[in-house]
A = this chain, B = another copy of it.
Amino acid sequence: MTEAVSRPTLEAVAARAGVSRATVSRVVNGGDGVREPLVTRVRQAVEELGYVPNQAARSLVTKRHDAVAVVIAEPEARVFADPFFALQLRGISKELTAHDNQLVLLLTEGRADHARVARYLAGGHVDGALVFSLHLDDPLPGLIRNAGVPTVFGGRPDWSDGTPGPVYVDSDNRGGAREAVRHLVGLGRTRIAHITGALDQTSAVDRLDGYRDIVGDADPRLVVESDFTPGGGERAMRELLDRCPDVDAVFAANDLTALGALRVLRETGRRVPEDVAVIGFDDVLPVAEQADPPLTTVRQDIEEMGRLMARLLLRGQAGRPGRPGRVGEQSADEAAAGVILPTTLIRRASA
């Protein structure tokens, strides 16, 4: 006795309400132009039968999917070492949910998966894509452009060709860096160092630029390249102390890096902030708040970034090389561009 619980169709609702399928369809989709008595009758039939529209059938005719792909292209485990993506996802999810769109998550493990993702996007399974791929040499953005799907990028992508700029949402990395360094200057520090992030990511480059905006042509030995990890931060800090024992402030490219720097500073007997002031970036709470001493850092509103990305896509601000759809209804002359979210300096004990 396989209780074949096949769900009710439009047909069934129509029969029960004593109207045509078309009328039920109209009611289900907002019920414009249907007279009150019928609307109620249909609504009731829907209720009684527990009718839920079959999305596949609907997509087949509308060519819409009410679904958006989120592509996270980060081979490194590092992505998962801080809550960055989790927060973005939450922001994205909230916005998509508010507009009855589903979130299809596409995680990639290196290049092997790129073709798969490109095929999926080109396959017209979703109305748009939100893409995180922050590495300069990543071929994925290009592939995605060819897929002809409206797309919004998370973080400024690095396209130097002449095509109309991609739509993206980013934090004000450069401005945030400037504020951090300015704060250090305000503290009277004169030997301000910078430990960079992985310079194949625009965020790291922008933060370095912000640092340079303030310090000008300071001693180049005060800039040490690193990679956004605590271990990298340690190595960089050691090298820094080696090169410039008189350093009195460090602006680290992110909180994890700052953590590594703090550790080395402590080991070598420097007091923070008395001897060396330290500032991070991101304001990853469990890291920044629990650091010793608690970390002064530049906060970015990560969840808001996610929300905004989704909003841009749904509003059709996104580049849409190809076919139509509810997502992507922007006017043709809408200049594709980036949206930059402000950052805030959070003062704690380390600077």
A123 touches B260 (CB 8 A): no
Q: What's the least CB distance linking A203 to chain B, in Å?
A: 18
| Total copies of the chain | 2
A56 touches B52 (CB 8 A): no
Convert A197-212 into 0s and 1s, putting 1 for each residue whose CB lies closer than 8 angstroms to a CB of B: 0000000000000000
Q: Is A49 an interface residue (CB 8 A)?
A: no
B60 touches A89 (CB 8 A): no
Number of interface residues of A (CB under 8 A): 62
Which residues 74-93 in A have Cβ within 8 Å of B in the complex?
A: 79-83, 85-87, 89-90, 93
Roughly how many angstroms separate A94 CA and B110 CA in the complex, as a whole number?
12
A86-B86, A107-B93, A322-B5 known; A81-B285 Cβ under 8 A: yes
Contact stretch, chosen from A151-159, A243-251, A287-295: A287-295
Q: What's the least CB distance linking A42 to chain B, in Å?
A: 18
Q: Is A142 an interface residue (CB 8 A)?
A: no
Which residues 18-77 in A have Cβ within 8 Å of B in the complex?
A: 50, 52-57, 59-60, 65, 67, 70
Which B residues touch A4, using CB under 8 A?
323
Roughly how many angstroms separate A65 CA and B102 CA in the complex, as a whole number?
14
Roughly how many angstroms separate A106 CA and B70 CA in the complex, as a whole number?
13
Which B residues touch A85, using CB under 8 A?
86
Q: Is A280 an interface residue (CB 8 A)?
A: no
Q: Is A271 an interface residue (CB 8 A)?
A: no
Q: What's the least CB distance linking A51 to chain B, in Å?
A: 10
Roughly how many angstroms separate A82 CA and B86 CA in the complex, as a whole number?
9
Which residues 311-338 in A have Cβ within 8 Å of B in the complex?
A: 322-324
* Closest Cβ neighbor of A62 among chain B residues: B56
List 15 additional A-B contacts (Cβ < 8 Å) besides A67-B104, A102-B120. Answer: A2-B324, A5-B322, A52-B122, A55-B56, A55-B125, A80-B90, A86-B86, A89-B105, A89-B107, A94-B107, A94-B109, A103-B106, A263-B292, A266-B292, A292-B292
